[in-house]
Structure 1
Amino acid sequence: MEKSLRILEAVAAPGGPHRLAEVTAAAAVPKSSTFRILASLAEQGFVRQEGDGRYGVGPRLRGLSALVSGGEPASIGRILDELRQAAGGQTVHLALHSGRTVTYVRKLESEQPFRTASRVGMRMPLHTTAIGKSILAHLPEEEVRELLTATGLAPRTERTVTSKEALYAQLAEVRSRGFALDDEENEPSIRCIGAPVLGADGRPVGGVSITTVTFLVSREEIEAYAPALLAAARALAPLL
């Protein structure tokens, strides 16, 4: 089941339909198993096989997505909008933890005339984003070590933390103050703070963040939004 879910995520990733080799690499599943699982998913309508050997999202998966989106509590949107207003109209993201990445599921654009490159459905590394680091900080230490060993710490900008020791120090700080900081580590000129949304068992199911551009909002200014961010994360917890 775990392999099938990873394959579904790979098929649904932006830029599709995807070739078998792409799905195999993204899902980290052997090629023979990927092909067999894709055939079963296609037969059930969750995946659509294109004529050129690529695989795309099938009608049953699209229907499932519509059911989930249509059933989302309206209060999620209200909480995110209230957070955006409390943060001076800055961009707000809601993301879910998805294996080795986070996936943006909601984005409220900034009221400022500047836009970030993020979009709903985009997957991001855990170690470069504020939401990702807030999630890592609340996972068991051994699980974090296994994740980082599997994924590495590839740089996305010249400010990305690529040392495990430095990242572990950041995660300890996140646990101490409650939120994480991405200071141009994922995208140049973009600074974010993020907090985890915890499930009933204390594990992070996702996170929420405030995103700003560095030439308009200083680090001190964005960190001043932390109380509103943490309140939003707590309010979202029973809704995810």
Structure 2
Amino acid sequence: MAGIETSEDSQAAGRSGRSSAAGNATDKALNLLEAASAPGYPHRLGDIAAAAGVPKASAHRILQNLVAIGFLASDGSGGYGPGPRIRALAARVTQGCAEDQAMRAELEVLSRRTANTVHMGIRTGDALTYLVKVAGPNPVQESSRVGMQQPLHTTAIGKCVLAGLPDDELGRLVTSTGLPARTENSLTDPAELRAELARVRERGFAIEEEENEIGIRCIGAPVRDTRGTVIGGVSVSTITFLETRTTLLGWSDVVRSTADALRGLLG
């Protein structure tokens, strides 16, 4: 998108030797689009800019451009959300998509085999976003939904993602997020988290013990793209008073094989 650089960006470029700390014009536009379309919209300018890591002056100009071309919509009082073009694009990507059908079929098989809820999620920035949820038969269900974002360090899928990161990128993410607690069981100490991630790499799967939601225990395995990079994962979520940890661990092979079957479906 031409014409969206500001003096704020130019000053950053002079200091850092690149367009800005937020990336080039395309990076900024896409990050802002993602932030504005996050669940809970409409979102205010300041919140969108902060989530995308883009200076407010630049963010305002880019958001106005995205509204003008239909990718975002303004509520008329300073709030932004997804526009008709991004909704249409989302429908085109998912409706009847062979990859989406193959992914859902694998997850439905896993849900039937374990008789519990299954999630597929990917890393989006410094968070995890659920792409697919196949609810299990239990009358008690967790609060997750498709499109919901969760911290990486408190979820089984997120731990799989973190375990696949280079050490310098992991360090940046830990510093950026601050590892906030979701429950009293959340890993908030960087050293403890690194020790846990070492176990994830060794086992090939991650366990989450009521770290994101009390009463929920999960097992997850990493999903990779065609290059072998971990981009997300698959998890089985259980209610702690209905399934034991031993039962959960017994599903490690089937969870890993499901995750392996999804390799390359998302790029």
Same-fold call, TM cutoff 0.5: yes
Residue aligned with 1:205, SS: strand
Q: CA deviation at 1:110?
A: 1.2
Higher relative contact order (CA 8 A, sep 6+): 1
Which protein has the larger Cα radius of gyration, Structure 1 or Structure 2? 2
Q: Greater shift after overlay, 14-23 or 165-174? A: 14-23
Residue 38 of structure 2 aligns to which amino acid in structure 1? A
1:123-170 CA-to-partner distances (Å, cap 9, x unmatched) read: 111100000001110111111111111111100000000111110011
1:192-232 CA-to-partner distances (Å, cap 9, x unmatched) read: 01111011222112111000011111111111111000000
Q: How far apart are the structure 2 equivalents of 1:67 and 1:97?
A: 21
Matched, 1:8 2:33: yes
Q: How far apart are the structure 1 equivalents of 2:116 and 2:51?
A: 32
Residue 239 of structure 2 aligns to which amino acid in structure 1? V
Q: 2:126 aligns with which of 100, 107, 114?
A: 100
Q: How far apart are the structure 2 equivalents of 1:202 and 1:146?
A: 22
Matched, 1:175 2:196: no
Instruction: Give the share of equivalent positions with the same residue, in percent.
Output: 46
Matched, 1:234 2:255: no
Partner of residue 110, structure 2: 83
Residue 107 of structure 2 aligns to which amino acid in structure 1? L
What are structure 2's unaligned runs of at least 5 residues? 1-25
Q: Greater shift after overlay, 14-23 or 103-112? A: 14-23
Moved over 6 A (4+): none
Q: How far apart are the structure 2 equivalents of 1:206 and 1:44?
A: 31
Alignment TM-score, normalising by the size of structure 2: 0.87
Does structure 1 retain, via aligned residues, the 8 Å contact 2:225–2:265? no
Partner of residue 216, structure 2: 190
Alignment TM-score, normalising by the size of structure 1: 0.97
Does structure 1 retain, via aligned residues, the 8 Å contact 2:118–2:135? yes
RMSD: 1.0
Residue 15 of structure 1 aligns to which amino acid in structure 2? G
Query: How many residue pairs are counted as aligned between the two chains?
Result: 239
Partner of residue 208, structure 1: 234
Q: How far apart are the structure 2 equivalents of 1:43 and 1:144?
A: 37
Does structure 1 retain, via aligned residues, the 8 Å contact 2:180–2:188? yes
Q: How far apart are the structure 1 equivalents of 2:241 and 2:80?
A: 42
